[in-house]
Structure 1
Amino acid sequence: MTGDVWTELMVHLMVLLWSSGVHCETAKVDLVMLVDESGSISSNDFDQIKMFLVAIVNGLNIGPDAVQIGLTLFSTTPRTEWHLNTHQTKQSLLRAIKQLKQTGGDTNTGKALEHILDIQFKPSMGMRPDSRRIAVLITDGESQDQVFLPSKNLKHNDIEVYAIGD
């Protein structure tokens, strides 16, 4: 994807997030970013995704009583990079984003969606009972596994899912 495409996607995502109240100083939001790191993502595109994540973090009020961000990378197997309560400051999140490394593999989006429901959106991992729950899926292509049931399970658990893709 070109830089212009990522800029457009970031604007769309920010509009979605802002319209859901994420920008408010008093908004408690648990946001899990689900990022495709499969082999179909070029290293340049992965760098663009990291820049996109930096822009998202910079646009939000981050903290234990505001927006918390967890991140899971996925390809053949999902991998939690950090939980919702791991990074409680903007600076800490920005350092963690800079350290992200791509491993490649297949695009198993359904498995990744199941993973964030089973692992990330849990009170023991920082999810707050009074927060709005949002998952943002960033991918470049079609999943190689089934996504319908995992998506339905997220919705059933009051988790809003936004997908950004090429």
Structure 2
Amino acid sequence: MVLFSSLYYVSCGHFCHRQRQYQYGTKSCPGCSNTKTYREVSCCDGWKGYTCDVPICDPPCNGGETCYGPDTCRCSNKTVEGLCYGYACFPPCQHGGECYGPNKCACRLGYAGDFCDVNPSDIIFVVDESGSIGNDDFRVTMEYLTNAVNRLPVRYDLLRIGLALFSDSARKSFNLDDHFTKEHITDAILNTYFGSGGTDIDGALGYTCEDMFQLTTGDRPNAQNILVLITDGRSSDANKPGLLKCNSKNVTIIGIGIGSNTDQDQLRSLVSKPEYYYDTTYDYLDTTMPKLLKTIKGKL
């Protein structure tokens, strides 16, 4: 949680390079694992962590100070006679919360999380599985999602996760109320098999907002609804009835376009705000992680 909340200060991380190779599961054998190799992980000087967003202080901070940047120590609370006063909460408690212990915040009603930065939210990842992607890049996306889940404050009463896949048509992998722990959610993601077909993005939006953001499938009336669309292509349907269904439910849409075959203007017309869309490639998909978490965090 500390790593996730450090995005409060670091907008895009300090990421240099990461490459990975996967061969994990097929439609005939979901969950079968043959290869899972990590290689060439590199952060810029002074940073560490999965997305290179955690500062390094050498020597370590002392006297109650917190590491806020490379070799930059300071108090997270006020100082008294040159020393840090009271306990340190990094980042400071949000939404009126009070720091009562090391990285421990007492939250006001309606907020939760280690730093009082979480409102109840329901998030559904909507992932392209069209034939142009292929199983290897699909596995890269699934691993990307598991890393995102591990950086989010998942809990049945705080943040719930669902997963939908789409090609010519959309299908459910799991609903918002199927899994409530990070371990169960990441296992379900990695066990999702790859399909194939065309690319009906608007149909996928309509399916998700109409059939998966439902009380009967775990959606909560007091929670914010967030849809994260990940695709490498352009929609086969120029009409937008699916988008209208999402807008009618006030669903926030975040978009990630991968590769050169995307219609960026089309995708930007789907997201809730221009800054909620970003493009990348499969080789550099990891570089969008800080942006995705920061965008989601801004909605929590």
TM-score, length basis structure 1: 0.83
Residue 270 of structure 2 is aligned to residue 149 of structure 1 = no
- Measured in 1, the distance between the counterparts of 2:213 and 2:164 equals 11
Q: Where in structure 2 are the equivalents of 1:44-63 lying within 5 Å?
A: 44-63=136-155
Q: Is the 8 A contact 1:72 1:80 kept in 2?
A: yes
Match of 2:132 in 1: 40
Task: Could you list the structure 1 runs, at least 4 aligned residues long, displaced by more than 2 angstroms after superposition.
Answer: 146-149
- Measured in 2, the distance between the counterparts of 1:91 and 1:163 equals 25
Deviation at residue 42 of structure 1 after TM alignment: 2.2
Deviation at residue 142 of structure 1 after TM alignment: 0.5
SS where residue 102 of structure 1 aligns?
coil
Q: Which has the higher strand share?
A: 2
SS where residue 133 of structure 1 aligns?
strand
Deviation at residue 66 of structure 1 after TM alignment: 1.1
Which AA in structure 2 matches 1:152? L
- Measured in 2, the distance between the counterparts of 1:146 and 1:111 equals 11
Match of 2:68 in 1: none
Deviation at residue 61 of structure 1 after TM alignment: 1.1
Q: Which has the higher helix share?
A: 1
- Measured in 1, the distance between the counterparts of 2:18 and 2:137 equals 9
Can you give the 5+ residue segments of structure 2 that lack an aligned partner in the other structure? Answer: 1-16, 20-50, 52-94, 96-111, 259-300
Q: Where in structure 2 are the equivalents of 1:72-111 lying within 5 Å?
A: 72-111=164-203
Inter-CA distance 3–113: structure 2 relative to 1 (3 Å threshold)? farther
Of the three residues 198, 215, 231, the one matched with 1:123 is 215
Structure showing greater relative contact order (alpha-carbon pairs closer than 8 Å, 6 or more residues apart): 1
- Measured in 1, the distance between the counterparts of 2:131 and 2:140 equals 15
Aligned length: 150
SS where residue 69 of structure 1 aligns?
strand
- Measured in 2, the distance between the counterparts of 1:117 and 1:136 equals 12
Which AA in structure 2 matches 1:88? F
Which AA in structure 2 matches 1:141? G
Q: Is the 8 A contact 1:34 1:73 kept in 2?
A: yes
CA distances 1:16-57 after superposition (whole Å, capped 9, x unpaired): xxxxx9xx6142110011000000112221011011101110
Q: Is the 8 A contact 1:155 1:161 kept in 2?
A: no
- Measured in 2, the distance between the counterparts of 1:75 and 1:3 equals 28
Can you give the 5+ residue segments of structure 1 that lack an aligned partner in the other structure? Answer: 5-10, 12-20
Identity %: 32
Q: Is the 8 A contact 2:210 2:245 kept in 1?
A: no
Residue 231 of structure 2 is aligned to residue 139 of structure 1 = yes
- Measured in 2, the distance between the counterparts of 1:42 and 1:104 equals 8
Match of 1:67 in 2: 159
